Amino acid sequence: MPRPSLAPFTLLLLRIGNLTFGGGDPTMAALQREFVERRRWLAPEQYAMAFSLARVTPGTNVLAFCAGAGWLIRGWIGAVIAVLATSAPSAVLAVWLSSAYTSTATVAWVQSVFSAVAACAAGMTVAGAVLLVKPHMARGWLRPLTITAAAFLATQAGFSPIPVLAAAAIVGMWWGDK
C-alpha cells in the first residue's frame, strides 16, 4: 500500500471529517471510498479491521476509526492527525456557534432560524426512524410499529435510552417470527 505524505492525508481528513453530514457511519463510508477504493492507502481487510475495532470501542466510533486507520496509514503521527483533523475544526465551530447563539438568542430572526433548524433536525430524526423500521414492516406492520411507539413513549416518559433499547430488543426477540 502506498504511504501518503502528511499534507494530502490531512487535507482529505479535514474535508471528509468536517463536511460529511449524518454522523460517524457516513463519514466512515466516505473514508472507505477514499482510503480503499480511490487512493488504495488501505487494503479492504485493514479497513474492515479498523471499522470493526472502532465499533466495539467505547466512545465516539468515528474517532476510534480515524485513529486506527490513521495508525495503519501513517503510524502514530497519522493517528494523531486523523483524530485532530476530524474533530478539532467541528469542535471549534460548535463552541463558536454556542457563543453566537447565547449572544443573539433574543433577536427575532435568529430565533426563527434556530426554530427552522430544530424542525429540520426533527424531520431528519423521524426520517431516520422510518428508514430503520421500514424494512421490518414488509412482514407486517404491527410488531415494528408497536415496539417503535412503545420505545418512543418510554423515552418521552423519561426512561434512559439504554434500558429502552434493551427492552425493545428483548421484546423484539420474544415477539419474533414464529
| Tens of pLDDT, residue by residue, the chain (178 residues) | 789 999 999 999 999 998 887 788 889 999 999 999 999 999 999 999 999 999 888 888 999 999 999 999 999 999 999 999 999 998 999 999 889 888 888 889 988 988 998 899 888 888 887 777 777 777 777 888 888 889 889 989 999 888 988 888 888 888 866 5
Q: What's the CA gap between 24 and 62, in Å, rounded?
A: 5
pLDDT score, position 178: 53
HSE-CB of 134 using CA atoms within 13 angstroms: 6
pLDDT score, position 177: 61
pLDDT score, position 171: 87
What crossing angle do the helices spanning 6-19 and 61-104 adopt, rounded to 10°? 60
Q: What's the CA gap between 48 and 123, in Å, rounded?
A: 32
152: nearest Cα among 132, 178, 175: 132
Count of beta carbons in the 10 Å neighbourhood of residue 87: 17
